[in-house]
Amino acid sequence: MIDHARDLASVREATERLLSAAAALDNASVAEPSRLPGWSRGHVLAHVARNADALVNVLAGRPMYASAEARDTDIERDAPRPLDAQLADVRDSAAGFQAEGERPADWSRTVELRNGVTDAAARVPFRRLVEVELHHVDLGIGYELEDLDEDFVRRETDFLADRFAGHKDLPPIRLSDDRGRTWTTGGGADAEPVHVSGRAADLVGWLAGRRDGGGLKSAGAALPALPPL
């Protein structure tokens, strides 16, 4: 069972961690490159804020974004702001998400995200948690995949393995981490199965597009190239 209330509490805690860490930056370092190609730290913070607004829309039954173009335009508009404006926006938009998440609602209902993707409303807080935690790592300010909560890493690996299951460009893939956990994914391509193993942080980093898989083993086969998320 998905515990949306627990996930909302985790989102609040993760947001405070991100804000506390980002508060040590200055205006110059906010403008420096993040770990995401083509994005400054300001882009990352702007995206975190606009994603909170977008998920409020999802929970309220509105389109997540007016359009893909509007989403990108908003991030570009907000990225150059000074640190105090960035922090205030992340905090205020996060409060809006928490308030929407605390309204009485049918959490079993289906909601629509981007590109026609649907999910249970109860999973939206976890989706927000993923955004906050991974983008904290993307800021490149000392928070690493190894710092992520172990239960979060397991759940995100579950989610990503399910997302890639049956993908037409992937062979059957068996995943295993250093905690003894296993998953299967891929399988849409007619190719020999591949066993990918390694540390939990390296595995989730590879699946989430945050690491190149250099820390993983693939039993002598080439590491599959994952499609974009």
- Euclidean distance between CA atoms 182 and 196, whole angstroms: 10
49-77 burial, b at 16+ Cβ within 10 Å, e below that, comes to: bbbbbbbbbbbeeeebbeeeeebeebbee
Q: What averages of pLDDT result for each successive group of 10 residues across the chain (229 residues)? A: 95 98 98 98 98 98 96 98 98 98 97 95 98 98 98 97 97 97 97 97 98 95 93
What's the rounded Cα separation, in Å, for the pair 101 and 215? 37
Reading the block at residue 226, the tokens are 């994952």
DSSP 38: T
Measure the CA–CA gap between 145 and 40, rounded to whole angstroms.
19
Q: Which residues pair with 96 in a beta bridge?
A: none
pLDDT at 1: 77
Q: What is the rounded CA–CA span in Å between residue 51 and residue 45?
A: 10
pLDDT of residue 220: 87
CB 45 within 8 A of CB 163: no
Look at residue 229 in the predicted model and tell me its pLDDT.
86
Structure tokens at 175: 């995943």
| Crossing angle of helices 150-164 and 124-138, rounded to 10° | 110
- For 169, which DSSP code? T
Rounded-to-integer distance, Cα 161 and Cα 135, Å: 20
How would you classify the pairing of strands 194-198 and 182-186? unpaired
Give dist(CA 207, CA 124) in Å, integer.
20
Phi, psi of 194 (to 5 degrees): -125, 135
**Phi and psi at residue 112, in whole multiples of 5°?**
-110, 135
